[in-house]
C-alpha cells in the first residue's frame, strides 16, 4: 500500500523537441505518469523548445504521438491547455524576462562580457593547477552604469547567476541525501539575453509557475539539480522533491549504444512491438515489484509502482528480453484483436480476407516475435509462392512416387464435404494413410505443396485454414510442377 502524500502531486514530463522521443525519455514519462496516477495527482506535458535552431515541430508531434501510443495521457499540455499555460517555453518568454530582470535588479545576476578566448584561457589555467574549471568571476563586479554602456555599444554578453558560497543539500527519493558545495559550480550562465533563457533557468521558472511538486528525471540531470535549487532559493521559490532514475545500460553494463539510445519510440511501434510490451519493459528498467511477477497492465503498474523501489544502479537494456516479452504478449492476445493491430503491417487485400487472416494468426501466433514478422511468416496463406519442384522431394523419392502419393491424398480429401472440412474429419485418416506409405513420403510433399516453403506450420493446420477447395488446388499445382 503506497502512503498518500499530503500535498497534491504535480509532476511534469518536459522533453525538448530537438529529436524524437526515445526509450529513455519514454521511461521518464512513464515513471512520472505512474507516480501521478498513484497519488491522484496531475501529469503535465511541457515542451522545452527554447533551443530555436534545433527545435522542430515534427519532433514535437512525434513526442505527442509516442506518448499517446503508450496511453500516457496528460492532464495539462500544449494541445489541451490548463490553468498554468502556455505549455511551450517559446510562448513563455515574457515570464522568463520578468524573473531575469528581478535577479539583475537584486544583484543576484549580472551581464558577463567575457569572450570565448578569455573563458578558454581561464579554463586551461585552472586545469593546469589541477582545479575543476569554473567561471572566475571577472565580470561579477562591473557596475550598472558600465554594463548599460557596453550593452548599448552592442558588446556581446550573457547573463550569469551570482552563485553564493553555500552548501546545497537535498534528499533524493531514490539516492538519499546529497550534498554539493556551490563553490565548485561557479557563476552559471542562465540566459543569452533577457529573451533567450537557457534550460537551467527556464525549467526552474516553469516548475515554480506550474506548481510542480516532484521532479522525476534521468540521472544525467543530477548535476543540474543543485544549480536549480540555487535559483529557487534566490527567487524565494518553494522546495521541490527530486528523484533521479538510473542510467540505461547495455547488457554488459557498458554505455548503451547509439543504435538503441537514439532509436525513436515510434520506430519500435513500426517494427511491430506492442504498446503493452514497451510499457511493461520500460517499467522494469530500473524498478522491480515486490514479487516475481513479469507481466503488468498499466492499471496494475499504478497499484504496484513505488518510487522507493527504483534502483540506484544502472538499468540493463536487453533487446532479447524485449523480443521475448513482445512474443508473450502477442501469444496471449485473442486473434480477432491481434488482427486489428496487424492492419498496418499487411497488404490491404489480406485485410479483406478476415476469416483467413484470423485462422492464419491463430496458427502463426506462436512464431511471431514482432507484428512485422507475420507478413513473411504467413504470406503463403494468402498467395501460394512460386517454388521449385525439388522442394517437394522427400529423400530419394522420384517425381512419379510423389505424384502417386499426392493423388492418394486428393482421393482422401474428396471424401469430405466442404462444410465438414476440418482437422477432426481428415487428420486421422491421412495419418493412417501415412503409416502405410511413410510419414515423410506423404506429409513432406503435402506440407510443401500447401505452403511453397521449406519451413512452415504443419499441413493439417494449413489445410484447415485454407479450406477444401484451395487445398486441392495447391496439391494439383504441385502435381503439375512434378509432371
What are the catalytic residues?
Answer: 258
Residue 152 CA to chain centroid, in angstroms?
48
Q: Is there a contact between 229 and 180 (Cβ–Cβ < 8 Å)?
A: no
Residue 242: phi, psi to the nearest 5? -120, 150
CA–CA dist 455, 450 (Å, integer): 11
Extract the C-alpha cell encoding 346: 499487411
CA–CA dist 96, 87 (Å, integer): 13
HEC per residue, the chain: CCCCCCCCCEEEECCCCCCCCEHHHHHHHHHHHHHHHHCCCEEEECECCCCCCCCCHHHHHHHHHHHHHCCCCCCEECCCECCCCCCEHHHCHHHHHHHHHHHHHCCCEEEECCCHHHHHHHHHHHHHCCCCCCCCCCCCCCCHHHHHHHHHCCCCCEEEECCCCCEEEEEECCCEEEEEEHHHCCCEEEEEECCEECHHHHHHHHHHHCCCCEEEEEHHHCCHHHHHHHHHHHHCCCCCEEEEECCEECCCCCECCHHHHCCEHHHHHHHCCCHHHHHHHHHCCCECCCCCCCCCCHHHHHHHCCHHHECCCCEECCHHHHHHHHHHHHHHCCHHHHHHHCCCCCCHHHHCCHHHHHHHHHHHHHHCCCCCHHHHHHHHHHCCCCCCHHHHCCCCCCHHHHHHHHHHHHHHHHCCCCCCCCHHHHHHHHHHHHHHHCHHHHHHHHHHHHHCCCCCCCHHHHHHHHCHHHHHHHHHHHHHHHC
* Residue positions counted in the chain: 483
Of the candidates 316, 312, 314, 325, the one whose C-alpha atom is nearest the C-alpha of residue 251 is 316
Query: Rounded to the nearest 10 degrees, what angle do helices 468-482 and 459-466 cross at?
Result: 120
Amino acid at each position: 500500500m503506497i502512503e498518500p502524500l499530503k500535498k497534491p502531486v504535480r509532476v511534469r514530463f518536459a522533453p525538448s523537441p530537438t529529436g524524437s522521443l526515445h526509450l529513455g525519455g519514454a521511461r521518464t514519462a512513464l515513471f512520472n505518469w505512474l507516480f501521478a496516477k498513484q497519488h491522484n495527482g496531475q501529469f503535465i506535458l511541457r515542451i522545452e523548445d527554447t533551443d530555436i535552431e534545433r527545435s522542430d515541430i515534427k519532433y514535437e508531434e512525434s513526442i505527442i504521438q509516442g506518448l499517446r501510443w503508450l496511453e500516457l495521457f496528460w492532464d495539462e499540455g500544449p494541445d489541451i491547455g490548463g490553468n498554468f499555460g502556455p505549455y511551450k517555453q517559446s510562448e513563455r518568454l515574457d515570464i522568463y524576462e520578468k524573473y531575469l530582470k528581478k535577479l539583475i535588479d537584486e544583484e543576484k545576476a549580472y551581464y558577463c562580457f567575457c569572450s570565448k578566448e578569455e573563458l578558454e584561457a581561464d579554463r586551461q589555467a585552472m586545469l593546469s593547477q589541477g582545479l575543476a574549471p569554473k567561471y572566475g568571476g571577472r565580470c561579477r563586479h562591473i557596475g550598472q552604469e558600465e554594463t548599460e554602456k557596453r550593452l548599448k555599444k552592442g558588446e556581446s554578453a550573457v547573463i550569469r547567476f551570482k552563485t553564493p558560497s553555500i552548501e546545497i543539500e537535498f534528499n533524493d527519493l531514490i539516492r538519499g541525501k546529497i550534498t554539493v558545495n556551490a563553490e565548485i559550480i561557479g557563476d552559471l550562465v542562465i540566459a543569452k539575453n533577457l529573451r533567450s533563457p537557457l534550460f537551467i533557468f527556464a525549467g526552474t521558472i516553469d516548475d515554480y509557475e506550474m506548481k510542480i511538486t516532484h521532479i522525476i528525471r534521468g540521472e544525467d540531470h543530477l548535476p543540474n539539480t543543485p544549480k536549480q535549487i540555487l535559483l529557487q532559493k534566490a527567487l524565494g521559490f518553494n522546495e521541490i522533491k527530486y528523484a533521479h532514475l538510473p542510467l540505461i545500460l547495455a547488457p554488459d553494463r557498458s554505455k548503451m549504444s547509439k543504435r538503441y539510445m537514439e532509436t525513436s519510440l515510434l520506430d519500435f511501434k513500426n517494427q511491430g512491438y506492442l504498446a503493452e510490451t514497451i510499457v511493461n519493459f520500460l517499467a522494469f528498467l530500473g524498478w522491480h515489484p515486490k514479487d516475481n511477477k513479469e507481466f503488468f497492465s498499466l492499471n496494475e503498474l499504478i497499484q504496484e509502482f513505488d518510487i522507493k523501489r527504483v534502483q540506484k544502479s544502472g538499468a540493463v537494456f536487453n533487446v532479447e528480453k524485449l523480443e521475448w516479452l513482445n512474443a508473450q504478449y502477442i501469444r496471449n492476445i485473442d486473434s480477432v484483436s491481434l488482427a486489428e493491430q496487424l492492419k498496418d503491417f499487411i497488404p490491404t487485400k489480406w485485410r479483406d480476407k478476415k476469416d483467413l487472416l484470423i485462422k492464419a494468426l491463430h496458427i502463426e501466433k506462436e512464431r511471431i516475435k514482432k507484428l512485422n514478422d507475420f507478413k513473411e511468416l504467413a504470406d503463403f496463406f494468402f498467395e501460394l509462392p512460386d517454388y521449385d519442384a525439388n522442394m517437394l522431394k522427400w529423400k530419394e523419392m522420384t517425381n512419379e512416387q510423389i505424384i502417386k502419393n499426392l493423388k492418394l491424398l486428393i482421393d482422401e480429401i474428396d471424401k469430405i464435404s466442404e462444410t465438414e472440412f476440418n482437422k477432426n474429419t481428415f487428420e486421422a485418416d491421412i495419418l493412417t494413410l501415412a503409416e502405410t506409405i511413410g510419414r515423410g513420403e506423404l506429409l513432406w510433399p503435402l506440407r510443401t505443396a500447401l505452403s511453397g516453403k521449406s519451413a512452415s506450420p504443419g499441413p493439417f493446420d494449413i489445410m484447415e485454414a485454407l479450406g477444401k477447395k484451395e487445398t486441392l488446388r495447391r496439391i494439383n499445382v504441385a502435381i503439375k510442377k512434378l509432371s
